Structure 1
Amino acid sequence: MSTETARKALDKKLSILPSLEQMKRPHKGWIKAVREAVGMTSKQLAARLGVSQPRITALEKSEIDETVTLASLRRAAEALDCALVYSFVPKKSLQSTVKNRARIVAARLIGKVDHTMFLEAQNLDKLALDEEVEDLAMQIIREKQRLLWEDAK
């Protein structure tokens, strides 16, 4: 499977996820929010997990502090009759991320050439320069994807 085909397939799979705004972690964390929503005390959750009640307090705090492990989240989710869904949700499609990055790289490469041409009074006008950037960006995507992230910041 080509990189582009894989990228499109993953974009399609990710497109069914709700928006990031809808899925933001509750301010008290998912564990505590779900536990309280189902009317379960921290002592009851502790019993379901086979740990002490103070461990639940520490677990909920570690989720807020972003130090919780995936394994701990998975066990807590199961104890709360939930499934843990772990995913990266791109801010925009992977395809547009690659296209934007290719344009940046192409503009940088062409900018160096255009500067040299400027010194020789042969530089391109804005429209021609934009067309060159777009053409090179598409060529990078097709043939030289390794260039996309060489100097990524």
Structure 2
Amino acid sequence: MRPTDRATARRQLDQRLNRISDAEALARPPRGWIKAIREALGLTTAQLGRRLGVSQPRVVAIEKAEREGAITLASLERAAHALDCRLVYALVPRRPLEDMVRERAELRARQHLESASHSMALEAQGVGSADEQEQFERLVQRLLERAGSDLWEEGE
């Protein structure tokens, strides 16, 4: 993917994810969505089992797997269908993707400039703080313009 396409994709995802204003409201209930909805509808595990085409003990196992975070998406999808629900699956970043990429670019720029600054200081070629800030901003912008997987490499 080209860097400009990647930046556009980030902005579009940020816009879509902003619509999920309260991600905590979507957090799995302590006993799991399947059990919460089944009980709210008044279905027994045996009745849900018939809808799923599985045994009653298997429904208990499915609910337990969801509660423990060990359920597969395919099983969740089947359970959702049996409960006349839609499965909504999303990874919701804790902050905007644009912010995450900018912070990473700033970190990488700082690392690069600290290394260069140290070398220049050893050669008595120090740079003033205004020039240093300008270099920092230019480097951040350059990193953002080509922001790819190399931005996330560690220790370079």
Point out 4+ residue stretches in structure 1 off by more than 4 angstroms. Answer: 125-128
CA distance in 2, matches of 1:34, 1:126: 60
TM-score, scaled relative to structure 2: 0.88
User: Looking at both structures, which has the greater relative contact order when contacts are Cα pairs under 8 Å and sequence separation is at least 6?
Assistant: 2
Q: Secondary structure of the residue that 2:110 maps to in structure 1?
A: helix
Runs of 5+ consecutive residues of structure 2 not aligned to the other structure: none
Specify which of 2, 6, 22 is matched with residue 3 of structure 1: 6
Taking only the aligned residue pairs, the percentage that are identical comes to 44
CA distance in 2, matches of 1:86, 1:144: 27
Backbone CA RMSD of aligned residues: 1.9
Judge conservation of contact 1:46–1:56 (CA < 8 Å) in 2: yes
Q: Deviations over 1:120-151 (max 9, x none)?
A: 23334555434432321111111353431122
The corresponding residue for 1:92 is 95
Aligned length: 152
Runs of 5+ consecutive residues of structure 1 not aligned to the other structure: none
Q: Secondary structure of the residue that 2:25 maps to in structure 1?
A: coil
Specify which of 35, 38, 43 is matched with residue 40 of structure 1: 43
Q: Secondary structure of the residue that 2:70 maps to in structure 1?
A: coil
**Structure 1 residues 34, 127: closer, same or farther in 2, change over 3 A?**
farther
Q: Measure how far apart 1:20 and its partner are.
A: 2.4
2:98 maps to 1:113: no
CA distance in 2, matches of 1:76, 1:9: 31
TM-score, scaled relative to structure 1: 0.89
